A and B are shown apart, each in its own frame.
Chain A
Amino acid sequence: QKEVEQNSGPLSVPEGAIASLNCTYSDRVSQSFFWYRQYSGKSPELIMSIYSNGDKEDGRFTAQLNKASQYVSLLIRDSQPSDSATYLCAVPTGTYKYIFGTGTRLKVLA
């Protein structure tokens, strides 16, 4: 079983819609969760972190965490073509090791 799983996509949404990206993880002791955005040919950049159950909002981005279900999601409201990228879910384990999902490719259609 993969430790961090994401749907590879592509997930296509029209401009202005809400994009919903999902991630499940297997390590129950994980306490922090990160979303990175990676544009084609570029390196990953951190966009959101979440540590507690519930929702965390930052501008057009909302991260949602459910530790009981081992599920973390990222919502992007009012999606823009500039949001088209691969979104990586990252889960640090208790042994200093970060596990990344393979990423979901998002395409926002103008």
Chain B
Amino acid sequence: KAGVTQTPRYLIKTRGQQVTLSCSPISGHRSVSWYQQTPGQGLQFLFEYFSETQRNKGNFPGRFSGRQFSNSRSEMNVSTLELGDSALYLCASSLQPGGSEKLFFGSGTQLSVL
């Protein structure tokens, strides 16, 4: 069974640009959540999607947005990039949202904003 696939693996952007990251969950998993990981802050929850609906959102500005498609694949978009957006962005899938579900992480997208 294929794992969680995130693309691209690395991205270099400049301030003010926008970026779109993609995540394909494990087959049969309908929940996708996104996290930002930085050395100082650790893993910070961005948002979670289930059945194409955003179920919860973390404390991030509106520049961070996402969506989920009918095949459970998800995209995350960051507009007007800032230097502080440089981080590892991780996607995780699970069968169902929240509760006692175990998360399975992708390899992440390393975003560098110059």
Chain A contact residue count (CB 8 A cutoff): 25
Contact A43 B33 (CB under 8 A): no
Contact B55 A96 (CB under 8 A): yes
How many residue pairs link A and B with beta carbons under 8 A? The number is 61
Which candidate, A15-23, A64-72, A77-85, A100-108, is the interface stretch facing chain B? A100-108
Given contacts A44-B43, A88-B43, A102-B42, contact A96 B56 (CB under 8 A): yes
Does chain B have a CB within 8 A of A34?
Answer: yes
Chain B contact residue count (CB 8 A cutoff): 25
Q: How far is the CA of A61 from the CA of B40 in the complex (A)?
A: 27
Does chain A have a CB within 8 A of B58?
Answer: yes
Contact B56 A95 (CB under 8 A): yes
Among A18-40, those with CB < 8 Å from B are 31-32, 34, 36
Does chain A have a CB within 8 A of B61?
Answer: no
Q: Which residues of B are found within 8 Å of A49, using beta-carbon distances?
A: 100, 102
Q: Smallest distance from the beta carbon of B71 to chain A beta carbons, Å?
A: 21
Q: Smallest distance from the beta carbon of A82 to chain B beta carbons, Å?
A: 19
Given contacts A43-B90, A44-B90, A92-B98, contact A97 B105 (CB under 8 A): no
Q: Smallest distance from the beta carbon of A32 to chain B beta carbons, Å?
A: 4
Q: Which residues of A are found within 8 Å of B41, using beta-carbon distances?
A: 102
Contact A100 B104 (CB under 8 A): no
Contacts A43-B90, A98-B103 known; 19 new A-B pairs at CB < 8 A: A31-B99, A34-B102, A43-B107, A44-B43, A44-B90, A45-B105, A46-B102, A46-B103, A46-B104, A49-B100, A49-B102, A92-B101, A95-B98, A96-B97, A96-B99, A98-B33, A98-B98, A100-B42, A100-B45
